[in-house]
Amino acid sequence: MIKRMLIMLTLLLTAAIFARLVLNYGEHQELGKLGAHYASQGPAELGAPNLVTAVVVTYRGLDTLGEVTVLFISAAGVGVMLRRRKQVPDDNEARKPSSEIVVTAAQLLLPMIFLFGIYVFVNGHLSPGGGFQGGAIIAAGSLLLLLALPQAEMRHRLISITESLSGFSYVVVGLLGVILAGGFLDNRIMSLGTYGSLFSAGAIPIIYTLIGLKVGSELSAVLDRFRQSD
Amino acid sequence: MNELIGSIIILTGSVFLFSAGLGILRMPDAYNRIQAGTKATTLGTMMVLLGLAVLHPAWTWKLLILVFFVLLTNPVSSHALARAAHRIHTPEADSTVIDQLEEEEQEEARAAAEGTNT
């Protein structure tokens, strides 16, 4: 009885909190000051048709660096928690190979998935998507590889080199922005190019490629660690 | 005219998708549900995409790529699911008559055993 009363009380309190939010809710009819500045000046200043990208990579580039760092720390945490077993277990015999259909389809699909991931982050400044999304697609491809071809081995050295190099270059590009242009991660260290073409918007495609490579290799490494510690 | 044809194709496709949902609810065991959910959704999704291609001819190539992707992934993934279900011995419906995969595996096991004996 008391339990039920408590639940009712909690529900009522929650309702009271959200009622204020709902009743006071009014849709914004126009952009705020900062949003208006981004929307009106962004395309001209940075040359990126995708405004979200302009905000994420350049105006708020430092936050993105923080996100990448968070991802790196979580990947490192997974690596510490799931330490690799020393003796390689002989479960390769117990594990039956995938059927021919699965193997063939996976081999056909893998290049397509990787290509699509690369497309998403290379076109990040033109169309929806970007480094994180492209990297996640690439990691999904690695997951397919791990599930469909369990005998395949990932090249850990290559993955960790890719990850470290891309993270390092990301920071270097950001610092170049401080030296050559207006501030950290300013994309105007290169010419803005033709508005709307693939090689445009200054350094944004480079930054997004680096983020995509970093996220993709990082998530793939996390997935592989999960597999090894099963 | 194009609008009418495209809408009819999409509607037919959604009828197939509906029957897939019905099949998942009504079929007696996991294997039957998998096959109901695969065949009907593959055709249904393809018809919806083709109907869209009739409605918007400019999107045709992109939609064809999507059709190809669905055609490739949907059957393969349900094949893998069904094999996995079979490996962990998911029970079959009582009305099941024949299990060729089981027979084949027993055959293989027997051949392997004979191979080690001789």
Report the alpha-carbon distance of residue A121 to residue A127 in Å, rounded.
9
Q: What was the ipTM of the complex prediction?
A: 0.71
- Asked if B76 and A99 come within 8 Å (Cβ–Cβ), the reply is no
pLDDT tens by residue, A142-199:
888 888 877 777 777 888 888 888 888 888 887 777 777 776 766 666 666 666 666 6
Q: Which residues of B fall within a CB distance of 8 Å from A109? A: 72-73
Report the alpha-carbon distance of residue A213 to residue A168 in Å, rounded.
12
Find the residue in B nearest to A108 (Cα). Answer: B72
What is the residue-wise DSSP string for B41-78? HHHHHHHHHHHHHHH-GGGHHHHHHHHHHHHHHHHHHH
pLDDT tens by residue, B68-94:
989 888 998 888 888 888 888 878 777
Report the alpha-carbon distance of residue B104 to residue B85 in Å, rounded.
16
Buried-exposed string A174-192: b where 16+ CB fall within 10 A, e elsewhere: bebbeeebeebbbbbbbeb
Q: Does the pTM exceed 0.95? A: no
- Asked if A105 and B83 come within 8 Å (Cβ–Cβ), the reply is no
Report the alpha-carbon distance of residue A6 to residue A9 in Å, rounded.
5
| Cα B6 from chain centre | 24
- Are B16 and B43 a contacting pair, CB within 8 Å? yes
Residue in A98, A102, A116 to test binding to B, most B beta-carbons within 10 Å: A102
- Asked if B87 and A96 come within 8 Å (Cβ–Cβ), the reply is yes
Give the number of A-B residue pairs with CB atoms closer than 8 Å. 19
B 65-94: CB under 8 A from A:
69, 72-73, 76, 79-80, 83, 87
Q: Residue A84: its pLDDT value, please?
A: 62
Residue A186 sits at φ, ψ, to 5 deg, of -65, 135
Report the alpha-carbon distance of residue A136 to residue A134 in Å, rounded.
5
